[in-house]
Amino acid sequence: MTDYFKITFVFKFSDDTTIKFDLYLDQETLALAHEEKRGLPDWTLLNYCKCTLCPLDETITTHCPVAANFSSIVDKFTKFTSHDRVNVACVVEERTYSKSTTVQMGVSPLLGIIMTTSGCPIMEQLKPMVRFHLPFASLEETIFRMVSMHLVAQYLRHQAGKSAEWNLDGLTKIYAQVGLVNRDFAERMAGAAQNDVNVNALVNLDAFAKMVPLAADNLMKKITPYFSELLK
């Protein structure tokens, strides 16, 4: 077995342009593998629009890890607009997901993976989701996966002899932090954007993230009948 697993995104446009990205993630840590980058643009420096919650020390970490990993992607879509149509395929070991969508919606899951696997201490709280990535997921699918991840984390904490909480308060707190990172990172990317694709991709992610805690309780009530046999 290899020590990484690969997620590939392929964007195919009507003018026959094809853009492909291969992401290699460590099997054990889910960290995104990357080559040392030189000549990074100024907008990737840690102290450039540094996120409010960022705990990293710029004397040790000179560049924002997310920005550094995303820097090679931002210029790939310069000739396209956010609402241009594209066929996107996301290929993982087990299967291929595909969808005809807009460029901004296609870039959103790619950006989401990079943000959670690059080493940002705040975004890493969502990292378990990456191994079971579901691109183009609906809000209901995302909420179910997020609640499941949160409760699995509580089970693992309990098994390790640590405190565990069996409500969704902790998940709400995580998403509040993620929202602040999304806001601040959007400001960072605005300085690098040569068009609106990358910023709007992040805006889409953020809008989705804000809806998850708001709709979680309603979804739990809606799906409760599905668990009727398990609730007896």
**How large is the average pLDDT for residues 219-229?**
94
Query: Per the domain annotation, does 79 fall within a domain?
Result: yes
Per-residue model confidence as pLDDT tens digits over 161-186: 999 999 999 999 999 999 999 989 98
- Domain range for 200 is 4-227
Query: Per the domain annotation, does 232 fall within a domain?
Result: no
Between 190 and 184, name the one with better pLDDT: 184
Instruction: Please state the domain count of the chain.
Output: 1
**Considering only CA atoms, which of 224, 223, 185 is closest in space to residue 46?**
185
Per-residue model confidence as pLDDT tens digits over 42-93: 999 999 999 999 999 999 999 999 999 988 888 788 888 889 999 999 999 8
Query: Per the domain annotation, does 84 fall within a domain?
Result: yes
The predicted pLDDT at position 81 comes to 86
Distances from the Cα of 139 to the Cαs of 101, 130, 134, 148, 225, in angstroms? 16, 16, 11, 14, 19
The predicted pLDDT at position 220 comes to 92
Query: Per the domain annotation, does 158 fall within a domain?
Result: yes
* H helix runs in the chain, sequence order: 65-70, 103-117, 128-131, 139-159, 169-190, 197-223
Query: Per the domain annotation, does 9 fall within a domain?
Result: yes
pTM of the model: 0.88
Query: Per the domain annotation, does 184 fall within a domain?
Result: yes
Query: Per the domain annotation, does 200 fall within a domain?
Result: yes
Query: Per the domain annotation, does 176 fall within a domain?
Result: yes
pLDDT at 193 over 70: no
